[in-house]
Chains A and B, each alone.
Chain A
Amino acid sequence: MKTYNIYICGVGGQGIIKTSIVIGEAAMKSNLGVVMSEIHGMSQRGGVVSTELKIGDSRSPIINDGSADLLIAFEPIEALRAISKASKETYVIVNTSSIMPFNIQGSNIPYPDVLSVLEELESKVNRVFAMDAEKIAKESGHILSLNMVMLGGATAVSGFPINKETVKESMSANLPEKSIPINMKAFEKGYEFVSSK
């Protein structure tokens, strides 16, 4: 049994759960088995948020250490925080714009240099797609389309098990109607970024 495992992480408020639901419903529409785990609770208050999706024939939605096929990190240091889920073969898509923890002033550990974060990611996995998704989202019309930039990137990754049109159908079914043109634009830009690499 081989499942396609996607680990998605970032900071509360970035639209991570919505993105995961779009992927999950698209998998269901593609007649693939899919299970997902999401942790609610403190998420809206700036804490770490993560979801796990297993596409294929799996009962549990928990991804073993070293078993993610795709790691989608909405924030640079959150990619490293989740690195135990990755192996050399994992594809990583990472947003390079950082979000400072609120208490960074009083923290003993400083926020690391983003370039050194990317270097470490590249030293650990074969393929890292680093993009400034915040910038791309703003160019697309709204910063809140950041999650669809990341989704577009994910859809373009080699081995992603759902075709692009089905993902877009699922977006239309899950996003507010008014926001769809901007989100589609954001999605396409993310898709282009990864497929051009």
Chain B
Amino acid sequence: MNLKNILTHKEGEKLFLLGNEAAVRGVIESGVSVAATYPGTPSSEIGNVLSEIAKDAGIYFEFSINEKVALEVAAAASASGVRSFTFMKHVGLNVAADSFMSVVYSGVNGGMIILSADDPSMFSSQNEQDNRHYARIANIPMIEPSNPQEIKDLMKFGYELSEEFQIPILMRTTTRVSHMRGVVELGKVEEHPKTGYFKRDPERFVPVPSSARKMHKLLVSKMAEIEEVVNNSPLNKIFDNGGNVGIITSGSAFNYVMDVLDENNLKINVLKITLSYPFPEKRVLEFIKELDSVIVVEEVDPVMEKEVLACLGKYGLNTKVHGKLDETLPLIFEYSPDIILEGLNKLFKDNVDTKEIYEPNIPLPARPPTLCPGCPHRAAYYAVKKAGENLNLDVIYPTDIGCYTLGIESPYETADYLLSMGSSVGTSCGFSKSVDQSIVSFIGDSTFFHAGIPPLINAVHNKDKFVLVILDNRTTAMTGGQPHPGLPLDGMGEIAPEIDIERIVEAAGVQFLEVINPLNIKKSQDIFQDALKFDGVAVVISKYPCMLIKGAKKKKQIVVDVDPDKCDKCLDCLRELTCPAIYMADNGSVNIDSAACKGCTVCIQVCEEKAIGVKK
């Protein structure tokens, strides 16, 4: 499908859309004026699609420097009366949390939706935090779609709710909803104002304590009214299948529940919670009052289960509640239809359907992801490790979030400590004050902009001693190659001022600064050695573009080859570089896959026998 179809197709037409693509159609149909994000999987494709079509759709879209700024861009737009959208992965909301809390207090004029894409089972994240808790911390209404059609439709509903109560809305998806494809019937594209006017109202928009107290009181009263909406909304829907057992569920788990009931012909009632905060207590009571027991099926934390238990306590009911807390269902990780059936079988033994599940008899080697052929990070890691070995140093490697986190794998082993975006620099400050070991930390270019600059200033000011390697591959590679402030293009493909990392580092007061081409191994190694000897904060910018950047100027195509007469089969190239283009053939000879090789020449420089060379 051409992505432009998301914009150009008309009401009533159907498209086979990814959840994230459906969100973009929701933005278009809702007449959103301003959208901003920092890329993060599983929400990344929303930005990728907006980046392609925002201009034609008359939407302003940006890849902001981080999620906090993205949320602030959207908040100001909504305060000015236009509709705004910001979206991020679940941990991105941690970054945005400070302003997120305040925008719920001050409220909005134009509708505002904040989409958080959670990642149960952690397909591409450092944790599986359940952002339904954020609805409770901030006291913000939450919507949980179950499929692409719902994402799109609930965006429209969300903007209306947002404007009716002048409050932002938090939409929670999960990986299996964001990365699910389904048939989406398109709706009407609404027109809303594209330019707003900010009417000054400091009592409303400046939360100094005297105003914040009023704001909080107003927020509580808004949420009481919204509780009426969620209790009466058909979006919190009861499926009456007869019988005296019920399931309360939401999001992706709802899909699994319905399929399991259908496939196994189970007569169990279902309450689908779509508007999940404020918790629809009355709707839940109406559902459970006739039931003997209820099972709460939700990913990840027992959030609704505890709400249901509180509800029963409050009204003195004795309905039995099953879920995570009584171990009917697993406490962590994402669910599947099989997991839910297993839980139901624990409660109702008669459904047991024991089938033989195949397992491979032959042991299978793992297939972990790795750095691509020609990836400049491989060269930088090789050189930095050699530098440490040459100086006989005990080096620790705080790292950061990006492709280069794959440095955790053997043989690189250049990832020793990681907390979050930007933590490489901040934790290096702490290590510097706590250990006598040498410290080399790694951060990517986009991550440096996102959260690496304040801790670098902190490091210089507090006289820390470590080497910071900025792995500048000229893109946000891990999430699919989005631009960042260090590039001459913005999120809509327009020419934009390029912010120079070198000048930022200089301005922070760093006294040792070198820029290297990591593909030049010997020179890089020497500079890393000098950096390791420096008494203070040393910054090395390892600058070479990612091999995956589309349309980037490619290195002159050369064919690299192994001379079998010179190769002594030491296998250092295979073991120390683990480049996917270098392989051992069945006869034991070392070869280079010319289709995969990018001609980075690192293996040529590494081979002591000079057996690897450019084919003439």
CA distance A41 to B401 in the complex (A): 13
Q: Are A116 and B366 in contact (CB under 8 A)?
A: no
Does chain B have a CB within 8 A of A162?
no
Contacts of A41 in B (CB 8 A): 41-42, 123-124
In the complex, which of the residues A24, A40, A48, A59 contacts B367, with contact meaning CB atoms closer than 8 Å? A48
Q: How far is the CB of A37 from chain B (nearest CB, A)?
A: 5
Does chain A have a CB within 8 A of B325?
no
Q: How many residues on B have C-beta within 8 angstroms of the other chain's C-beta atoms?
A: 64
Does chain A have a CB within 8 A of B4?
no
0/1 string, B369-393, CB within 8 A of A gives 1: 1111000000000000000000000
Residue of B nearest to A33 (CB): B183
CA distance A105 to B571 in the complex (A): 9
Residue of B nearest to A143 (CB): B595
Q: How far is the CB of A67 from chain B (nearest CB, A)?
A: 9
Q: With contacts A24-B181, A77-B364, A103-B578 known, is A45 near B42, CB below 8 A?
A: no
Q: Are A47 and B369 in contact (CB under 8 A)?
A: yes
Q: Are B123 and A174 in contact (CB under 8 A)?
A: no
In the complex, which of the residues A35, A105, A124, A174 contacts B182, with contact meaning CB atoms closer than 8 Å? A35
Q: With contacts A28-B16, A44-B548 known, is A12 near B369, CB below 8 A?
A: yes
Does chain B have a CB within 8 A of A157?
no
Residue of B nearest to A36 (CB): B181
CA distance A116 to B1 in the complex (A): 39
0/1 string, B169-182, CB within 8 A of A gives 1: 00000011001111
Q: How far is the CB of B610 from chain A (nearest CB, A)?
A: 21
CA distance A86 to B372 in the complex (A): 32
Contacts of A86 in B (CB 8 A): 358
Q: Are B179 and A40 in contact (CB under 8 A)?
A: yes
In the complex, which of the residues B175, B368, B584 contacts A103, with contact meaning CB atoms closer than 8 Å? B368
Contacts of B371 in A (CB 8 A): 45
Contacts of B16 in A (CB 8 A): 21, 24-25, 28, 34, 36
Instruction: Provide the main secondary structure of the chain B interface.
Output: loop
Q: Are A84 and B359 in contact (CB under 8 A)?
A: yes
0/1 string, B32-44, CB within 8 A of A gives 1: 0000000001101
Contacts of B252 in A (CB 8 A): 60
Q: Are B337 and A62 in contact (CB under 8 A)?
A: yes
Contacts of A39 in B (CB 8 A): 123, 175, 179
Q: Are B179 and A38 in contact (CB under 8 A)?
A: yes
Residue of B nearest to A83 (CB): B358
Q: How far is the CB of B558 from chain A (nearest CB, A)?
A: 20
Q: How many A-B residue pairs have CB under 8 A?
A: 166
Q: With contacts A35-B180, A40-B42, A62-B336 known, is A80 near B263, CB below 8 A?
A: no
CA distance A173 to B9 in the complex (A): 15
Q: Which of B467-513 contact A (CB under 8 A)?
A: none
Q: Are B365 and A35 in contact (CB under 8 A)?
A: no
0/1 string, A79-118, CB within 8 A of B gives 1: 0110110110000000000001111111101111000110
In the complex, which of the residues A1, A11, A45, A58 contacts B406, with contact meaning CB atoms closer than 8 Å? A45
Does chain A have a CB within 8 A of B360?
yes
Does chain B have a CB within 8 A of A192?
no
Q: How far is the CB of B24 from chain A (nearest CB, A)?
A: 16
Residue of B nearest to A12 (CB): B369
Q: Are B124 and A40 in contact (CB under 8 A)?
A: yes
Contacts of B14 in A (CB 8 A): 28
Most chain B C-beta atoms within 10 Å of own C-beta, residue among A59, A112, A124? A59
Q: With contacts A81-B364, A84-B357 known, is A60 near B255, CB below 8 A?
A: yes
In the complex, which of the residues A11, A12, A42, A83 contacts B124, with contact meaning CB atoms closer than 8 Å? A42
**Sampled A-B contacts (15; CB under 8 Å):** A21-B1, A39-B123, A45-B369, A45-B371, A66-B355, A66-B356, A80-B360, A84-B359, A100-B583, A101-B367, A103-B366, A105-B571, A106-B410, A106-B575, A120-B362
Q: Add 7 more A-B contacts to A45-B406, A83-B360 (CB < 8 A).
A: A40-B45, A40-B124, A103-B366, A103-B409, A106-B410, A107-B365, A124-B358
**Contact surface of A with B, Cβ cutoff 8 Å:** 1, 11-12, 21, 24-25, 28, 33-48, 58-62, 64-66, 77-78, 80-81, 83-84, 86-87, 100-107, 109-112, 116-117, 120, 124, 143, 173-174
Question: 9 closest Cβ contacts across the A-B interface?
Answer: A41-B124, A47-B369, A60-B255, A42-B369, A45-B369, A36-B181, A59-B255, A80-B360, A109-B365
